[in-house]
Structure 1
C-alpha cells in the first residue's frame, strides 16, 4: 500500500512539474515574442539531451530494473533522440514548433480523458468535470493543429495561450484526482474495519 502511494505521489509531482513548465514557458514566450525560434529549438534540443541522460543514469543508479512499470530508460533514450533531431533539423523543428506544442497538449488531453474514466470507475460523482476539462483541451489543441489563423504570429500566440491553459487544467485535475483517491481509500479502509469485527464474531460463534 505504501509503495502504491509513493508511486501515485511521484506521478502527481511529475505532472505538476510538467504543468508548471507549460505555464512558465507559455508566459515567457508570450512576453518575449522576439525570441528566435531556431535558437529556442536548439536550446530545447540541448535540454532534452540533458534530461534524457539524467533519466538513463537514474534508471541504473536507482536500480529501476528491479521494479516493473518504470520507463526511465525508454523515456531517457527518447529524449536524447528527440534532442539530437532538434539540433540536426533545427529549421524543420522551428517551422513545426506550434504543431509540436499542440500535439503535447493533445497528449495531455487524452491522459485527462483516461483520468475521467478512472474517476467514473471509482464512482466519483463529479467525474464529468475532468471529462469537460479533457474535452476543452482537445478542442483547443485541434484548433491549433487546424491552423485557422491568418498569420504565423497569431498562430504562435494562440498556441502559447493554449499551453498555459493546459498547464492550469492539468494542475486542477491532479488536485481533483488526489482528493478523489484519498476519499476512495478512506472509504475502503472504513469498509474493511467494519467487515473485520463482524467476520471475527462470526468465526468465534462457531
Structure 2
C-alpha cells in the first residue's frame, strides 16, 4: 500500500508540474507575442534534448533497470529525438506549433476522461465534474486543431488561452482525484476495522 501511495504521489506531482508549465508557457506566449516561433522551437528542441539526457542518466543512476515498469530510458530517447528533429526542421515545427500544443491538450483531455472513469469506479458522487472538465478540454483542443480562425495570430492566441485553461483544469482534477482517493482509502480502512471488531472472538469466563 505504501509503495502504491508513493507511485500515486509521484504521478500527481509530475502532472501538476506539467500543468504549471502549461500555464506559465501560455501566459508568457500571450505577454510576448513578438517572440519568433522558429527561435522558440529551437529553444524547445534544446530543452527536450536536455530533459532526455537527464532522464537517461536518471535511469542508470537510480538503477531503474532492476525494476520493471519504468520508462525513463525510452522517454529520454524520445525527448532527444524530438529535440533533434525540432533543431533540424525548425521551420516545419514552427508552422505546426499551435497544432502540437493542441494535440498536447487533447492528450490531457483523454487522461482526464480516464480519471472520470476511475472516480466513477471509486463511487465518487461528483465524478461527472471531471467528465465535464475533460469534455471542455476536448472541445477547446478540437477547435484549435480545426483552425476556424482567419489570421495566424488569432489562432496562436486562442491556442495559448486553451493551454492555460487546460493547465488550470488539470490542477483542479488532480487535487480532486487526490481527495477522492483519500476518502476511498479511509472508507476501506473504516470497513476493515468494523469487520475486525465484528468477527472478534467472544471472551468467555471460566
Per the TM superposition, whether the score is higher than 0.5 is: yes
CA distance in 1, matches of 2:50, 2:20: 19
Counterpart in the other structure of 2:61? 61
Counterpart in the other structure of 1:17? 17
After TM superposition, the structure 1 = structure 2 runs for residues 37-52 of structure 1, keeping only pairs within 5 Å, are 37-52=37-52
Counterpart in the other structure of 2:125? 125
CA distance in 2, matches of 1:126, 1:17: 25
Counterpart in the other structure of 1:77? 77
CA RMSD of aligned residues (A): 1.2
Counterpart in the other structure of 1:187? 187
CA distance in 2, matches of 1:167, 1:192: 38
CA distance in 2, matches of 1:199, 1:142: 55
- Is 1:96 the equivalent of 2:96? yes
CA distance in 2, matches of 1:95, 1:106: 19
Secondary structure of the corresponding residue to residue 20 of structure 1:
helix
| TM-aligned CA deviation for residue 196 of structure 1 | 1.6
1:44-80 Cα shifts (integer Å, max 9, x gaps) = 0000000011011111111112222221111111111
Runs (4+) of structure 1 moved beyond 3 Å?
Answer: none
Q: Which moved more, 1:189-198 or 1:101-110?
A: 189-198
Number of aligned pairs? 204
1:11-51 Cα shifts (integer Å, max 9, x gaps) = 00000000000000000000000000000000000000000
Counterpart in the other structure of 2:161? 161
Counterpart in the other structure of 1:110? 110
CA distance in 2, matches of 1:67, 1:175: 28
- Relative to the length of structure 1, the TM-score reads 0.96
CA distance in 1, matches of 2:76, 2:192: 41
After TM superposition, the structure 1 = structure 2 runs for residues 165-180 of structure 1, keeping only pairs within 5 Å, are 165-180=165-180
CA distance in 2, matches of 1:64, 1:195: 39
Counterpart in the other structure of 1:142? 142
- Relative to the length of structure 2, the TM-score reads 0.96
In structure 2, the gaps of 5 or more residues are none
